[in-house]
Amino acid sequence: MTDSTPDFGLKLHVWGERACFTRPEMKVERVSYDVMTPSAARGIVEAIHWKPAIRWIIDRIHVLKPIRFESIRRNEVGSKIAESSVRSAMRSGRLDELVTVVDEDRQQRAATVLRDVAYVIEAHFERTSKWGLEDNDAKHIDMARRRARSGQCFQRPCLGAREFAADFELIEGDPPPAISESRDLGFMLLDIDFSAGARPVFFRAEMIDGVIEPPRLEDAKAKR
Amino acid sequence: MSAITHRYDFVYLFDVVNGNPNGDPDAGNRPRVDPDTSRGLVTDVCLKRKVRNFVALAKGNVPGFRIYMAEKAILNNSNLEAWTEQGIEPDKKGDYSRLPKDEENARRITRWMCENFFDIRAFGAVMSTDKNAGQVRGPIQLTFAESLDPVSPLEISITRSSVTNERDADKERTMGNKHIVPYGLYRAHGFISARLANDARKGTGFSEEDLSLFWRALGEMFDHDRSAARGEMTARRLIVFEHESDLGNAPAAKLFERVKVSRAPGSDGPPRSFSDYAVTLDEAPLPVGVKALDLI
């Protein structure tokens, strides 16, 4: 326990075979960041417990395994479902026009993904404007910890993409040791600021002895 | 049809004999292999494709079981009325100027898609219902399947006793290649998050009936996916852990550890059939609220 995480902190060990935290500048042929982004970490915690009354803040990300990459090429579909064509099908009550023929709408894309990853996420939550009378801090942290301890989740958390499922466990004592490596990871996505119309926010990520401490979204270190 | 109320985690085992379960476009369609371990891979999307094809085959045009991501071109009686009604040219994609600003409207569209299309209910879909591409997350999540042992793909050269072009007529025959895995037993893990099916706001309505159809698809889909490239593929085991609660009662990783696949006693050398393996489910009492179902 450090000063910045009072008793409302959560330490979560997450791991998996593969992961892809896609760099926004390389989205078509996906290339993963070297480590988990704070926004992906927040998504994992939210998959276990979240209510509109709280917002999770990622304090630290520990990298437990060496950073290794692998390339995978897959057939993907090129287009999204157009809302206008759904509306016209709803109106006409016919479905045969409403279909995507995947063989004619193919894109082969390669993804450069991480192999054999494990992290410790340290997070705490703060109250939001939707905090109600029935909410209290202890209740939310207990719920999150209870679910993490017994393997419960709202949906299976994933490591950047849903095909890379994440296993997780609650850490009640000291976290396992991080890798003893320091790197400047360059500019990295901190999170998407939804209060400002889904604007991506970046920060200068530094891994010091395997640990990354992201700034808060509203911090001056976060660049928009 | 009521949405499912239990969380499921499952282990799915299938094997291939003298075939290519999933070609790698980066390597000239050779079977996918993990370069670090030489184990064979089958991607999640490859398995989902087969599930979709099976459902399309089994349910044909049953209302509510259409498949949105269709594989073969569908012969339409072109239905221009709907388009003209909208005043949209058919070659125009997602018209972003007329987005449903209203969340309720967007949700109605999504709900209607979920009701009509099995693959959207099961796997979710990306729809352009708002600026950042409103997504429906489906309850079913599959991971990459990996072979238990390293596989060594073979390149088989074959000849054809005819030619394509007249100018090659004196050649008399042409050569081609096939890539096969002599034998591989693959293991995939899957998860079904009940909340993404039954949640009032986010749920797709994936129902008990859909679930039994999905299990059936995993069991039978290879039987309807025969081709020269595939060789013999067979679904071998499907072990499902059903949780009492929709959030789950135990960590998935702990449950998956109970399914052990090892070499059968007395079998040595490279594995060449399913009988070279022994699949055991740990007999120790399961965590409270978890049931194991052996569906194949």
Is A138 in contact with B20 (CB distance < 8 Å)? no
B95, amino acid identity: D
Q: What is the mean pLDDT of residues B91-103?
A: 46
CB of A94 less than 8 A from some CB of B: yes
Please report the pLDDT score of residue B95 as a whole number: 42
A-chain residues within 8 Å CB-CB of B93?
A: 79, 82
> Do the Cβ atoms of B82 and A94 come within 8 Å?
yes
Of A80, A108, A154, the CB nearest to B193: A154
Does the pLDDT at position B41 exceed 90? Answer: yes
Does the pLDDT at position B78 exceed 50? Answer: no
Nearest CA in chain B to A149: B251
> Do the Cβ atoms of A151 and B250 come within 8 Å?
yes
A-chain residues within 8 Å CB-CB of B6?
A: none
Of B100, B126, B142, the CB nearest to A80: B126
Instruction: Measure in Å the smallest separation between the Cα of A3 and chain B Cα atoms.
Output: 30
Q: Please give the share of chain B, as a percent, with pLDDT higher than 90.
A: 61
Those residues whose C-beta lies under 8 Å from the C-beta of residue A15, and which sit 6 or more positions away, are: A64, A117, A118, A119, A166, A167, A168
Identify the CA nearest to B45 among candidates A143, A74, A186: A74
B-chain residues within 8 Å CB-CB of A83?
A: 94-95, 99-100, 106, 109, 127-129
Does the pLDDT at position B234 exceed 80? Answer: yes
CB of A193 less than 8 A from some CB of B: no
Sign of CA pseudo-dihedral A182, A185, A187, A189: negative
Burial B94-130 (b: 16+ CB within 10 A, else e): bbeeebbeeeeebebbbeebbebbbbbbbbbbebbbb
Measured CA angle at B186 (ends B181, B189), to 5 deg: 155
Those residues whose C-beta lies under 8 Å from the C-beta of residue A133, and which sit 6 or more positions away, are: none
Those residues whose C-beta lies under 8 Å from the C-beta of residue B250, and which sit 6 or more positions away, are: A150, A151, B241, B243, B286, B287, B289, B290
Nearest CA in chain B to A164: B143
Of A88, A99, A100, the CB nearest to B82: A88
- Reduced DSSP (H G I as helix, E B as strand, rest coil) percent helix, strand, coil of chain B, to 5: 30, 30, 40
Q: Which of A67, A85, A104 best probes binding to B when mutated, by most B CB atoms within 10 angstroms? A: A85
Nearest CA in chain B to A92: B82
B277 pLDDT tier (thresholds 50, 70, 90): very high
Please report the pLDDT score of residue B93 as a whole number: 45
> Do the Cβ atoms of B70 and A72 come within 8 Å?
no
Distance of CA B252 to the CA centre of its chain: 20
B-chain residues within 8 Å CB-CB of A94?
A: 79, 82
Does the pLDDT at position B77 exceed 60? Answer: no
Of A70, A75, A101, the CB nearest to B73: A101
Of B79, B99, B127, the CB nearest to A81: B127
Does the pLDDT at position B87 exceed 70? Answer: no
Q: What is the pLDDT along chain A (224 residues), one digit of tens a residue?
A: 444 445 678 999 999 999 999 999 988 899 999 999 999 999 999 999 999 999 999 999 999 999 999 999 888 888 888 777 888 888 887 777 788 888 888 888 899 999 999 999 999 999 999 998 888 888 999 999 999 999 999 999 999 999 999 999 999 989 999 999 999 999 999 999 888 777 899 999 999 999 999 999 888 677 76
Instruction: Measure in Å the smallest separation between the Cα of A71 and chain B Cα atoms.
Output: 9
Give the pair of three-digit tokens for residue A150. 């017994």
Q: Which of B52, B53, B68 best probes binding to A when mutated, by most A CB atoms within 10 angstroms? A: B68
Instruction: Measure in Å the smallest separation between the Cα of A211 and chain B Cα atoms.
Output: 25
Tokens 């993404």 -> residue: B196
Distance of CA A126 to the CA centre of its chain: 18
Those residues whose C-beta lies under 8 Å from the C-beta of residue B223, and which sit 6 or more positions away, are: none
Q: What is the mean pLDDT of residues B234-262?
A: 95
Tokens 């699949």 -> residue: B279
Nearest CA in chain B to A74: B25
A-chain residues within 8 Å CB-CB of B200?
A: none
Average pLDDT of chain B, as a whole number: 85
